[in-house]
Structure 1
């Protein structure tokens, strides 16, 4: 297996992408050794790597150590710590024999000079003709309490560091389990089960099998045969060297281990492939190889997604703006882009992409699902408080047209045409010194003003609904379209434009209704309607007289003598005539008002004069523009970070 070139190639690829720094952006397939302090972790690492690690509690438990082994013709060692250039230069490539104790001692002085436990990793790479390719990470051992003088927080710090590895679905958890401790009391198994509940990537390795009492050995064998606590990957067992054997060679330690497993017939029940340092290393190597091969397609997919995310963010940032002149150029480019887009939007000139993106809003509105209420829903007060359009109505012109329709419908309700009794009451209220049967122009105007006041209040409510809708719709569009760094400036100037325009709108509405306060029309419909109405009344009165005095059409016509009561041109006739005049005049006036109001308020000040907004943007002070667009240190650092990340991702993808 280890002699297979493909195996070496796969392990090398993972080691290379880790050296590029991919593991800082994505999780990569790996094996991590975890366990309680003094559980035998260091001796497991020694047995697998053939390296003699320090057993001093002050050094070996204070940071993670990653050991990568590869086969090569030349014996070589290198060590690396992030952000430690002098250390990395000293141990970049050391040919020949090496002193692990010195490397770890120096790493300890760098990583733990100001903290009890470091979250950084010491990376050691060793090569040699007899080495079997494998990468394994030794993590700080769990502790439950501290001694005097130690930082109380290191208990949680160690757990937090280890948890980052345990919860990573691409990490195989090599859980060190001392043989003389019951499985129920092994903390690392409980932690592993939290993030690997099916025990699919946790493999316990039993250490210190020589410390168990002989009568408990059958129970231990039962566990190792996966019959007590089932693990998908099974169990491993290794006799590690004790402190008294610290100076013996690796070969001597292996021989003692072999002799131990031959010391009892019970050990024969445990397969050779799962006991002893040589078998354990081979098992872990094959496991890591299979794990990497399974994860590679998913890893490549995630790399491609991250490259895409980096490119999108870099594109959104645009080219860097390094001086005031560049800032001004970019600002005017943004203004022109926004002007073109907003003008097209307000003209109802939508691009194919825009329609494709927002067509669902139009369909919802057309189906009446926009959360709005019709203006003619039967509520007498709804005309004065028209409901605003709800939701994101991206099709401004069509949404505005619906608001226009509501206003027109509200203005054309019959309840604003006064009945005869109301007119009679108002005639008495406003009557001057005119003779009975006559209604003066002043009285007509006063009565008409009653209706005009209602129309004005209703118009103000509807126009407010319109310009509030436009404010929100345009502001949302600006926020959506504009360069993020300029969004605040663009919205601030738009609010200024909006405030000035609604003041003009309010003044215009007052002017329109002030002018309408003096009845005036040259409309032919009005004249024809009055004349026709009067003619119909006269003809009806004459026909009534004829029916009264000549009921028999065959009788000889006799002279008609009119009685005083037959003359109906009295006060009541004048009121009825006034009602007809008011109705005819109101029909003409309200149509004129609707058209004039919409054209001279919303259309004039909010649609056609939108260029004033862009004039205001052009006048914005250069310093305000520069402060927004000049690249900040944080933005420059983020740009560099994205470029560096993209480079690492592309390099890693090529490697895979």
Structure 2
């Protein structure tokens, strides 16, 4: 009986220098929380063309003896998850399948149930065969699967690491590999390679010209600068010594032809037809001793050097990505929390549904009232871009009212166009026409008092259009605000129902009320003018004075220009000359001038009234007062049951969505706590990470305790620290490399308790 094959942990320890274990442990704990299902985590991705030697590289790196047979290729992605468990005495291996989301639900359930506990690695080949059958690769005719084989190894000496072996990229169709298979493989490999926190191990076989190998083309597409790609050359023993092919691959290994920031590495793996008892590392060392590849830098050849190199590369990748990862966790936590808050609590009974609608209405009314009153303390009113300005409705309406006033003041009074002359008459001409056309029993030189109303109505005929346009614009702004508030407090389907069944009908009524109020108010100006404002007579007197002053000034200038002032005896005669006005023989002209003066004066009085009254008499009572009452509790209590059900009811899909979101929130919250624990305990030992505990300061700031929600004193963030999101400050982190372009809403929302 053969001894069960042991798991080679000594190989793996080459990947994990002690100085890196603490940092890598953080990522492993995050992955253990299931965070990798929602956020990309640093990992090693082994990819290459079919039969390029990927699995052999993976086996050599990880110590997991994947089965190697001639013409056997990887037919699905294999995630090798290595985890330390200090409570275990020996290594345990668990094999599961993560089904593709494209599979039918029944298939996913069947694959989810696939679990194999292995006692030794000798059982791995048969387990992979079982998984292949479970995926249906032997029955469907498909050569590849989008499902993922997950191989999890736990033990007291295990490092924290995830290595992914991907199906080989296929060049052409064959009877075993269809066009659909090729497309599936390309999609799967591209998805993994596109994860920016993953390190790409691009495996290139020396058996084929590297310029024809697809993996290099795909690598340039997802990592054009080569910042996270390490090229690995396999099967160098297949090249003839001193041949052009050997020289070409040596130049490639020297990072001359295709340049990667992480460079290239050469390994010589065992061939599947070589005896099993031959030591892989010995064969590799002997090869480099007798080959031109042996002249390469020792750090760029051999599996031992590769393990050390990957350790440093992985450490640097985590070091570089962890600040951004923390920020992404915080953003995801906030987004998930907001979605859950919008969905509200689970509701099954009629009372729970009605309470949900009441709570939704309360949230809406609170925000809407603040928007109408101009109290912008809520994060809802924080400005993200120009499209969110309508949220601050009071500011929008005030600015619109100011614009309305300016347009009314700037618009000159105009008369209707005389079609016979194709031009509008002057005000004096029109006044004279009216005096003649509406002549009554008044004395010559006076006018019919009713003519003031007639001429005024002609001058103010555009007012109604201005006012109608203004209230329509305000109504549109109000509806935009209502939609934004509903977006804030409710999920999309609930928002749509509330908008269609409640908000829009109320808004239509408000619009009708505004129109009615405007019509009633503007009707006053269709009647005979009435005012007791002394500004009317003051304006008439002022106009007359300015006209008489201008005429007298002209006469003075004429007299003085002619030298009329020669002695004091001439003063009286000159005075009489100045104040004497020429007699106007046209009595209609005199009456028209008086009519014009009074009409213009009344126009100014009425204009000021309209500018004030349209906002206060029409907009305020019809819109700004009623808007927060759309979801008035009394209305909700009177809602029919079917409407309460439509808003507050939940389908099975929504219940499942809530459970999913709650599970995600739990993952994100636990992950956030892990990051905090790490930053508190170990960040100071990794100064290059960019995470550090805050320096103590005499100043104290209030923070929220993650345990009980109470406020407590904590050291203030140093003044020299770069501004970071509030929740990060709450954790006690300083992250200089973290982008500060976070909206204010995110800061406030995060500060309200990431650990609640």
TM-score if structure 1 supplies the norm length? 0.74
Q: Report the CA distance shift for 1:418/1:188 in structure 2 as closer, same or farther (over 3 A).
A: closer
User: 2 CA distance for matches of 1:435 and 1:472?
Assistant: 51
Match of 2:270 in 1: 241
* Structure with more of its chain in helix, by fraction: 1
User: 2 CA distance for matches of 1:243 and 1:360?
Assistant: 61
Deviation at 1:43, TM superposition (A): 2.7
Match of 1:18 in 2: 31
Greater alpha carbon shift after TM alignment, 13-22 vs 491-500: 13-22
Deviation at 1:142, TM superposition (A): 0.7
Matched, 1:400 2:401: yes
Greater alpha carbon shift after TM alignment, 39-48 vs 611-620: 611-620
Q: Which has the larger radius of gyration?
A: 1
Report the secondary structure of 1:214's partner residue: coil
Match among 21, 41, 47 for residue 28 of structure 1: 41
User: 2 CA distance for matches of 1:354 and 1:128?
Assistant: 48
Match among 178, 186, 191 for residue 159 of structure 1: 186
Match among 29, 34, 38 for residue 51 of structure 2: 38
- 1:70-89 correspondence to structure 2 within 5 Å: 73-82=89-98
Match among 100, 112, 129 for residue 124 of structure 2: 100
Whether the aligned pair in 2 keeps the contact of 1:497 and 1:613 (CA below 8 Å) is no
Q: Report the CA distance shift for 1:470/1:12 in structure 2 as closer, same or farther (over 3 A).
A: closer
What number of residue pairs does the alignment pair up?
A: 588
User: 1 CA distance for matches of 2:669 and 2:622?
Assistant: 50
Deviation at 1:140, TM superposition (A): 0.5
Match of 1:623 in 2: 642
User: 2 CA distance for matches of 1:190 and 1:654?
Assistant: 40
Match of 2:330 in 1: 304
Q: Report the CA distance shift for 1:267/1:41 in structure 2 as closer, same or farther (over 3 A).
A: same
User: 1 CA distance for matches of 2:536 and 2:276?
Assistant: 118
User: 2 CA distance for matches of 1:574 and 1:227?
Assistant: 101
Q: Report the CA distance shift for 1:292/1:621 in structure 2 as closer, same or farther (over 3 A).
A: same
Matched, 1:284 2:289: no
Per-residue displacement from partner, 1:210-252 (whole Å, max 9, x unpaired)? 221223245544544445545443433333333433xx32644
Report the secondary structure of 1:233's partner residue: coil
Q: Report the CA distance shift for 1:398/1:165 in structure 2 as closer, same or farther (over 3 A).
A: closer
User: 2 CA distance for matches of 1:424 and 1:640?
Assistant: 81
- Tell me how large the CA RMSD over aligned residues is: 4.7
Greater alpha carbon shift after TM alignment, 287-296 vs 103-112: 287-296
Per-residue displacement from partner, 1:88-116 (whole Å, max 9, x unpaired)? 76645433454111211122223345554
User: 1 CA distance for matches of 2:326 and 2:666?
Assistant: 15
Match among 520, 523, 526 for residue 511 of structure 1: 523
Match of 2:505 in 1: 493
Match of 2:351 in 1: 325
- 1:582-601 correspondence to structure 2 within 5 Å: 583-584=597-598, 587-588=601-602, 591-592=605-606, 595=609, 599=613
Q: Report the CA distance shift for 1:521/1:134 in structure 2 as closer, same or farther (over 3 A).
A: closer
Whether the aligned pair in 1 keeps the contact of 2:435 and 2:591 (CA below 8 Å) is no
Match among 623, 644, 648 for residue 667 of structure 2: 648
Deviation at 1:268, TM superposition (A): 3.8
Per-residue displacement from partner, 1:42-93 (whole Å, max 9, x unpaired)? 3333344251425375x74221112244677524221122256776766454
Report the secondary structure of 2:395's partner residue: coil
Q: Report the CA distance shift for 1:149/1:407 in structure 2 as closer, same or farther (over 3 A).
A: same
Per-residue displacement from partner, 1:236-285 (whole Å, max 9, x unpaired)? 3333333433xx326444444444444x2645424555444455445434
Whether the aligned pair in 1 keeps the contact of 2:255 and 2:263 (CA below 8 Å) is yes
Q: Report the CA distance shift for 1:251/1:149 in structure 2 as closer, same or farther (over 3 A).
A: closer
Deviation at 1:4, TM superposition (A): 5.3
Report the secondary structure of 1:452's partner residue: helix
Whether the aligned pair in 1 keeps the contact of 2:393 and 2:478 (CA below 8 Å) is no
Match of 1:53 in 2: 67
Per-residue displacement from partner, 1:363-394 (whole Å, max 9, x unpaired)? xxxxxxx9xxxxxxxxxxxxxxxxxx9x9882
Deviation at 1:655, TM superposition (A): 4.5
Report the secondary structure of 1:473's partner residue: helix
Matched, 1:480 2:484: yes
Match of 1:562 in 2: none
- 1:566-577 correspondence to structure 2 within 5 Å: 572-573=586-587, 576-577=590-591
User: 1 CA distance for matches of 2:268 and 2:539?
Assistant: 114
Per-residue displacement from partner, 1:483-507 (whole Å, max 9, x unpaired)? 3423444541243223422441354
Match of 1:458 in 2: 462
Per-residue displacement from partner, 1:513-533 (whole Å, max 9, x unpaired)? 4432xx667778879999999
Deviation at 1:424, TM superposition (A): 3.7
Q: Report the CA distance shift for 1:82/1:228 in structure 2 as closer, same or farther (over 3 A).
A: closer
Match among 465, 470, 492 for residue 474 of structure 2: 470
Greater alpha carbon shift after TM alignment, 418-427 vs 186-195: 418-427
Q: Report the CA distance shift for 1:219/1:393 in structure 2 as closer, same or farther (over 3 A).
A: same
Deviation at 1:311, TM superposition (A): 2.6
Q: Report the CA distance shift for 1:98/1:131 in structure 2 as closer, same or farther (over 3 A).
A: farther
Greater alpha carbon shift after TM alignment, 61-70 vs 26-35: 61-70
Whether the aligned pair in 2 keeps the contact of 1:172 and 1:202 (CA below 8 Å) is yes
User: 2 CA distance for matches of 1:162 and 1:31?
Assistant: 13
TM-score if structure 2 supplies the norm length? 0.65
User: 1 CA distance for matches of 2:536 and 2:670?
Assistant: 83
5+ unaligned residues in a row in structure 2: which ranges? Answer: 1-12, 100-107, 417-423, 545-568, 570-582, 676-756
Matched, 1:205 2:232: yes
Matched, 1:194 2:239: no
Matched, 1:140 2:153: no
